[in-house]
Structure 1
Amino acid sequence: MKINNDNNSPRSFDDEQALSAVFRLLSHHRRRVTVQYLATQNDPTSVTDVVDQIALLEDEQTDTYKFQIWMSLVHIHLPLLAEAAVIKFDPDRETVELDAQAKSMRSHLGLVAAD
Protein backbone atom coordinates (compact mmCIF):
# COMPACT_ATOMS: atom_id res chain seq x y z
CA MET A 1 0.00 0.00 0.00
CA LYS A 2 1.44 3.37 -1.01
CA ILE A 3 0.67 6.62 0.70
CA ASN A 4 1.39 10.02 -0.77
CA ASN A 5 2.90 12.68 1.42
CA ASP A 6 2.67 16.45 0.90
CA ASN A 7 5.20 16.55 -1.93
CA ASN A 8 3.41 13.76 -3.83
CA SER A 9 6.26 11.27 -3.58
CA PRO A 10 5.06 7.77 -2.66
CA ARG A 11 5.96 6.30 0.70
CA SER A 12 5.13 2.84 1.88
CA PHE A 13 2.81 2.06 4.76
CA ASP A 14 5.85 0.65 6.59
CA ASP A 15 7.64 3.99 6.18
CA GLU A 16 4.64 5.77 7.66
CA GLN A 17 4.56 3.36 10.61
CA ALA A 18 8.28 3.87 11.22
CA LEU A 19 7.86 7.63 11.13
CA SER A 20 4.93 7.39 13.54
CA ALA A 21 7.07 5.30 15.89
CA VAL A 22 9.77 7.98 15.84
CA PHE A 23 7.24 10.68 16.70
CA ARG A 24 5.80 8.54 19.52
CA LEU A 25 9.31 8.12 20.96
CA LEU A 26 9.89 11.86 20.72
CA SER A 27 6.45 12.78 22.06
CA HIS A 28 7.73 13.39 25.59
CA HIS A 29 10.02 16.36 26.14
CA ARG A 30 12.32 14.40 28.47
CA ARG A 31 13.06 11.88 25.73
CA ARG A 32 13.70 14.72 23.25
CA VAL A 33 16.04 16.47 25.69
CA THR A 34 17.83 13.19 26.38
CA VAL A 35 18.50 12.53 22.68
CA GLN A 36 19.52 16.14 22.04
CA TYR A 37 21.85 16.21 25.04
CA LEU A 38 23.46 12.85 24.23
CA ALA A 39 24.11 14.11 20.70
CA THR A 40 26.50 16.64 22.24
CA GLN A 41 28.43 13.97 24.18
CA ASN A 42 31.24 11.82 22.76
CA ASP A 43 31.34 9.20 25.50
CA PRO A 44 28.83 7.36 27.67
CA THR A 45 27.14 9.89 29.95
CA SER A 46 25.86 9.42 33.46
CA VAL A 47 22.11 9.41 33.98
CA THR A 48 22.75 12.07 36.63
CA ASP A 49 24.17 14.41 33.96
CA VAL A 50 21.02 13.91 31.88
CA VAL A 51 18.89 14.55 34.97
CA ASP A 52 20.78 17.78 35.64
CA GLN A 53 20.24 18.94 32.06
CA ILE A 54 16.50 18.24 32.24
CA ALA A 55 16.18 19.91 35.65
CA LEU A 56 17.93 22.97 34.28
CA LEU A 57 15.56 23.17 31.31
CA GLU A 58 12.52 22.55 33.52
CA ASP A 59 13.79 25.30 35.85
CA GLU A 60 13.57 23.17 38.99
CA GLN A 61 16.80 22.30 40.81
CA THR A 62 15.65 20.73 44.09
CA ASP A 63 16.92 17.28 45.04
CA THR A 64 13.35 16.00 45.30
CA TYR A 65 12.52 17.15 41.78
CA LYS A 66 15.77 15.73 40.38
CA PHE A 67 14.92 12.39 42.00
CA GLN A 68 11.51 12.45 40.27
CA ILE A 69 13.24 13.11 36.94
CA TRP A 70 15.71 10.29 37.62
CA MET A 71 12.86 7.88 38.43
CA SER A 72 10.99 8.74 35.23
CA LEU A 73 14.14 8.37 33.14
CA VAL A 74 15.31 5.09 34.64
CA HIS A 75 11.91 3.41 34.74
CA ILE A 76 10.14 4.83 31.68
CA HIS A 77 12.03 6.98 29.19
CA LEU A 78 15.47 5.38 28.97
CA PRO A 79 14.13 1.81 28.61
CA LEU A 80 11.81 2.98 25.79
CA LEU A 81 14.68 4.66 23.95
CA ALA A 82 16.95 1.65 24.51
CA GLU A 83 14.31 -0.78 23.23
CA ALA A 84 14.06 1.29 20.05
CA ALA A 85 17.89 1.18 19.67
CA VAL A 86 18.13 4.95 20.01
CA ILE A 87 20.37 4.77 23.08
CA LYS A 88 22.45 2.25 24.94
CA PHE A 89 21.39 2.27 28.58
CA ASP A 90 23.44 0.48 31.22
CA PRO A 91 21.26 0.45 34.35
CA ASP A 92 24.04 -1.05 36.49
CA ARG A 93 26.51 1.71 35.69
CA GLU A 94 23.73 4.28 35.20
CA THR A 95 25.17 5.44 31.89
CA VAL A 96 23.60 6.24 28.53
CA GLU A 97 24.90 6.96 25.03
CA LEU A 98 23.42 7.31 21.56
CA ASP A 99 22.96 4.14 19.53
CA ALA A 100 22.50 3.31 15.84
CA GLN A 101 18.96 4.66 15.34
CA ALA A 102 19.74 8.03 16.89
CA LYS A 103 21.01 9.62 13.68
CA SER A 104 17.73 9.10 11.85
CA MET A 105 15.73 10.20 14.89
CA ARG A 106 17.73 13.39 15.37
CA SER A 107 16.64 14.62 11.96
CA HIS A 108 13.03 14.57 13.22
CA LEU A 109 13.71 16.50 16.43
CA GLY A 110 13.19 19.81 14.69
CA LEU A 111 9.77 18.67 13.46
CA VAL A 112 8.49 17.90 16.95
CA ALA A 113 7.10 20.92 18.78
CA ALA A 114 9.23 22.15 21.63
CA ASP A 115 7.67 22.69 25.03
Structure 2
Amino acid sequence: MSSQTTVIDGRLSKGEIFDVLRNQRRRFVLQYLKRRGEPVELGDLATQVAAWEYRTPCEKVTSEQRKRVYTTLQQTHLPRMAEANIIEYDSDSGLIQPTTRTKDLSIYLEIVPGSELPWREYYLSLGAVSCALCAAVWGNVYPFTVLPDVAWAMLISVSFTVSAAIHIYYEQNMRLGDLEVPPELDLE
Protein backbone atom coordinates (compact mmCIF):
# COMPACT_ATOMS: atom_id res chain seq x y z
CA MET A 1 0.00 0.00 0.00
CA SER A 2 1.41 3.35 -0.91
CA SER A 3 0.72 6.80 0.35
CA GLN A 4 -1.78 7.07 -2.51
CA THR A 5 -4.10 4.45 -1.06
CA THR A 6 -7.73 5.25 -1.49
CA VAL A 7 -10.44 3.90 0.71
CA ILE A 8 -13.46 2.97 -1.39
CA ASP A 9 -16.78 2.73 0.46
CA GLY A 10 -14.82 2.79 3.72
CA ARG A 11 -13.30 -0.62 2.99
CA LEU A 12 -9.76 -1.80 2.43
CA SER A 13 -8.82 -5.09 0.85
CA LYS A 14 -7.27 -7.76 3.03
CA GLY A 15 -3.98 -7.18 1.22
CA GLU A 16 -4.01 -3.49 2.09
CA ILE A 17 -4.87 -4.24 5.71
CA PHE A 18 -2.06 -6.79 5.95
CA ASP A 19 0.32 -4.30 4.37
CA VAL A 20 -0.50 -1.68 6.98
CA LEU A 21 -0.38 -4.15 9.88
CA ARG A 22 2.68 -6.15 8.95
CA ASN A 23 4.76 -3.70 10.97
CA GLN A 24 5.11 -4.63 14.65
CA ARG A 25 5.08 -1.01 15.79
CA ARG A 26 1.67 -0.49 14.15
CA ARG A 27 0.34 -3.60 15.85
CA PHE A 28 1.60 -2.21 19.15
CA VAL A 29 -0.33 1.00 18.44
CA LEU A 30 -3.50 -1.02 17.96
CA GLN A 31 -2.84 -3.02 21.12
CA TYR A 32 -2.50 0.16 23.16
CA LEU A 33 -5.57 1.82 21.62
CA LYS A 34 -7.73 -1.27 22.13
CA ARG A 35 -6.64 -1.59 25.76
CA ARG A 36 -7.28 2.09 26.49
CA GLY A 37 -10.50 2.39 24.49
CA GLU A 38 -10.20 6.19 24.39
CA PRO A 39 -8.09 8.87 22.70
CA VAL A 40 -4.43 8.81 23.72
CA GLU A 41 -1.64 11.33 23.50
CA LEU A 42 1.26 10.66 21.17
CA GLY A 43 3.77 10.98 24.02
CA ASP A 44 2.04 8.33 26.13
CA LEU A 45 1.69 6.05 23.13
CA ALA A 46 5.36 6.45 22.20
CA THR A 47 6.44 5.64 25.76
CA GLN A 48 4.37 2.45 25.89
CA VAL A 49 5.41 1.26 22.41
CA ALA A 50 9.07 1.90 23.29
CA ALA A 51 8.62 -0.06 26.53
CA TRP A 52 7.25 -3.05 24.60
CA GLU A 53 9.91 -2.84 21.92
CA TYR A 54 12.75 -2.63 24.42
CA ARG A 55 11.04 -4.99 26.86
CA THR A 56 11.32 -2.66 29.77
CA PRO A 57 8.84 -0.95 32.11
CA CYS A 58 7.57 2.46 30.94
CA GLU A 59 9.46 4.15 33.78
CA LYS A 60 12.77 2.83 32.46
CA VAL A 61 12.35 3.92 28.84
CA THR A 62 15.15 6.33 28.01
CA SER A 63 14.50 9.65 26.32
CA GLU A 64 16.44 8.42 23.28
CA GLN A 65 14.29 5.27 22.97
CA ARG A 66 11.11 7.29 23.38
CA LYS A 67 12.21 9.91 20.87
CA ARG A 68 13.09 7.27 18.26
CA VAL A 69 9.64 5.70 18.56
CA TYR A 70 7.86 9.07 18.82
CA THR A 71 9.43 10.34 15.61
CA THR A 72 8.61 7.29 13.48
CA LEU A 73 5.07 7.13 14.86
CA GLN A 74 4.51 10.82 14.13
CA GLN A 75 6.07 10.89 10.69
CA THR A 76 5.30 7.46 9.26
CA HIS A 77 3.12 4.99 11.11
CA LEU A 78 0.26 7.10 12.43
CA PRO A 79 -0.34 8.98 9.16
CA ARG A 80 -0.37 5.69 7.26
CA MET A 81 -2.83 4.12 9.70
CA ALA A 82 -5.02 7.23 9.61
CA GLU A 83 -5.00 7.21 5.81
CA ALA A 84 -6.39 3.68 5.95
CA ASN A 85 -9.04 4.79 8.49
CA ILE A 86 -7.64 2.33 11.02
CA ILE A 87 -7.18 5.18 13.50
CA GLU A 88 -7.92 8.87 13.76
CA TYR A 89 -4.82 10.97 14.17
CA ASP A 90 -4.79 14.72 14.80
CA SER A 91 -1.20 15.75 14.18
CA ASP A 92 -1.80 19.23 15.60
CA SER A 93 -3.02 18.07 19.00
CA GLY A 94 -1.08 14.79 18.99
CA LEU A 95 -4.23 12.80 19.81
CA ILE A 96 -4.81 9.32 18.45
CA GLN A 97 -8.07 7.48 18.80
CA PRO A 98 -9.55 4.21 17.62
CA THR A 99 -12.12 4.07 14.85
CA THR A 100 -14.88 1.55 14.32
CA ARG A 101 -12.43 -0.34 12.11
CA THR A 102 -9.80 -0.63 14.87
CA LYS A 103 -11.63 -3.31 16.83
CA ASP A 104 -12.38 -5.33 13.71
CA LEU A 105 -8.75 -5.76 12.67
CA SER A 106 -7.83 -8.47 15.17
CA ILE A 107 -9.48 -11.08 12.94
CA TYR A 108 -6.71 -10.47 10.43
CA LEU A 109 -3.92 -11.06 12.90
CA GLU A 110 -3.06 -14.61 13.81
CA ILE A 111 -0.09 -14.48 16.13
CA VAL A 112 1.87 -17.69 15.68
CA PRO A 113 4.92 -17.82 17.95
CA GLY A 114 8.19 -19.31 16.78
CA SER A 115 7.92 -22.88 15.62
CA GLU A 116 4.28 -23.34 16.59
CA LEU A 117 1.89 -24.79 13.99
CA PRO A 118 -0.89 -22.42 12.84
CA TRP A 119 -4.39 -23.65 13.60
CA ARG A 120 -5.40 -23.87 9.94
CA GLU A 121 -2.51 -26.29 9.32
CA TYR A 122 -3.38 -28.24 12.46
CA TYR A 123 -6.97 -28.75 11.26
CA LEU A 124 -5.81 -29.69 7.78
CA SER A 125 -3.50 -32.31 9.32
CA LEU A 126 -6.23 -33.59 11.63
CA GLY A 127 -8.59 -33.88 8.66
CA ALA A 128 -5.99 -35.77 6.60
CA VAL A 129 -5.31 -38.20 9.47
CA SER A 130 -9.06 -38.70 9.93
CA CYS A 131 -9.52 -39.46 6.22
CA ALA A 132 -6.66 -41.98 6.32
CA LEU A 133 -8.16 -43.56 9.43
CA CYS A 134 -11.58 -43.83 7.76
CA ALA A 135 -9.99 -45.42 4.67
CA ALA A 136 -8.14 -47.94 6.85
CA VAL A 137 -11.31 -48.82 8.77
CA TRP A 138 -13.34 -49.10 5.56
CA GLY A 139 -10.64 -51.28 3.97
CA ASN A 140 -10.58 -53.58 7.04
CA VAL A 141 -6.85 -52.98 7.56
CA TYR A 142 -5.45 -54.54 10.72
CA PRO A 143 -5.21 -53.19 13.56
CA PHE A 144 -8.11 -50.88 12.69
CA THR A 145 -10.49 -53.85 12.71
CA VAL A 146 -9.93 -54.39 16.44
CA LEU A 147 -12.44 -51.67 17.40
CA PRO A 148 -15.93 -51.32 15.94
CA ASP A 149 -16.47 -48.63 13.27
CA VAL A 150 -18.55 -46.51 15.63
CA ALA A 151 -15.61 -46.32 18.07
CA TRP A 152 -13.38 -44.89 15.33
CA ALA A 153 -16.10 -42.40 14.35
CA MET A 154 -16.40 -41.38 17.99
CA LEU A 155 -12.60 -40.95 18.25
CA ILE A 156 -12.58 -38.66 15.21
CA SER A 157 -15.55 -36.65 16.52
CA VAL A 158 -13.98 -36.23 19.96
CA SER A 159 -10.65 -35.23 18.39
CA PHE A 160 -12.27 -32.41 16.41
CA THR A 161 -14.43 -31.29 19.35
CA VAL A 162 -11.54 -31.17 21.82
CA SER A 163 -9.35 -29.42 19.23
CA ALA A 164 -12.00 -26.78 18.61
CA ALA A 165 -12.47 -26.19 22.35
CA ILE A 166 -8.71 -25.77 22.85
CA HIS A 167 -8.57 -23.48 19.81
CA ILE A 168 -11.32 -21.25 21.22
CA TYR A 169 -9.62 -21.08 24.62
CA TYR A 170 -6.23 -20.34 23.06
CA GLU A 171 -7.61 -17.74 20.63
CA GLN A 172 -9.24 -15.76 23.43
CA ASN A 173 -5.76 -14.94 24.73
CA MET A 174 -4.36 -14.07 21.30
CA ARG A 175 -6.47 -11.07 20.35
CA LEU A 176 -5.03 -7.59 20.20
CA GLY A 177 -6.21 -5.55 23.12
CA ASP A 178 -7.28 -8.49 25.28
CA LEU A 179 -4.01 -8.79 27.20
CA GLU A 180 -1.88 -6.23 29.03
CA VAL A 181 0.91 -6.73 26.51
CA PRO A 182 0.68 -7.55 22.80
CA PRO A 183 0.18 -11.29 22.21
CA GLU A 184 3.44 -11.59 20.30
CA LEU A 185 5.37 -10.37 23.37
CA ASP A 186 3.41 -12.45 25.84
CA LEU A 187 4.39 -15.67 24.07
CA GLU A 188 8.12 -15.15 24.00
TM-score (normalised: structure 1): 0.77
Q: Partner residue of 1:48?
A: 43
Q: Percent identity?
A: 27
Greater strand percent: which structure? 1
**8 A contact 1:89–1:97 mirrored in 2:** yes
1:22-41 equivalent positions in 2, closer than 5 A? 22-41=17-36
| Amino acid paired to 1:86 | I
Q: CA RMSD in A?
A: 1.9
Matched, 1:82 2:85: no
- 1:92-111 equivalence runs, <5 A: 92-111=92-111
Change (3 A) 1:53 1:74: same
Unaligned segments of structure 2, at least 5 residues: 1-11, 114-183
Q: Give the CA deviation at 1:33.
A: 0.4
**Matching of residues 11-22 of structure 1 within 5 Å:** 18-22=13-17
- Provide the TM-score with structure 2 as the length reference: 0.48
Q: 1:108 to 1:35 in 2, by over 3 A?
A: same
Q: Contact 1:44–1:97 at 8 Å: present in 2 too?
A: yes
Does structure 2 conserve the Cα–Cα contact (< 8 Å) formed by 1:84 and 1:101? no
**Where in structure 1 do 4 or more consecutive aligned residues deviate above 4 Å?**
none
Where in structure 1 are there 5+ consecutive unaligned residues?
1-16
Q: 1:47-90 deviations in whole A, cap 9, x for unaligned?
A: 11111111111226210121111010000000010000010101
The count of aligned residue pairs is: 99
In the TM superposition, residue 30 of structure 1 has moved relative to its aligned partner by: 0.5
Structure holding more helix per residue: 2
Give the superposition deviation at 1:100.
2.4
Q: Distance in 2 between matches of 1:32 and 1:42?
A: 15
Q: Which has the larger radius of gyration?
A: 2
Q: What pairs up with 1:48-67 in 2 under 5 angstroms?
A: 48-59=43-54, 61-67=61-67
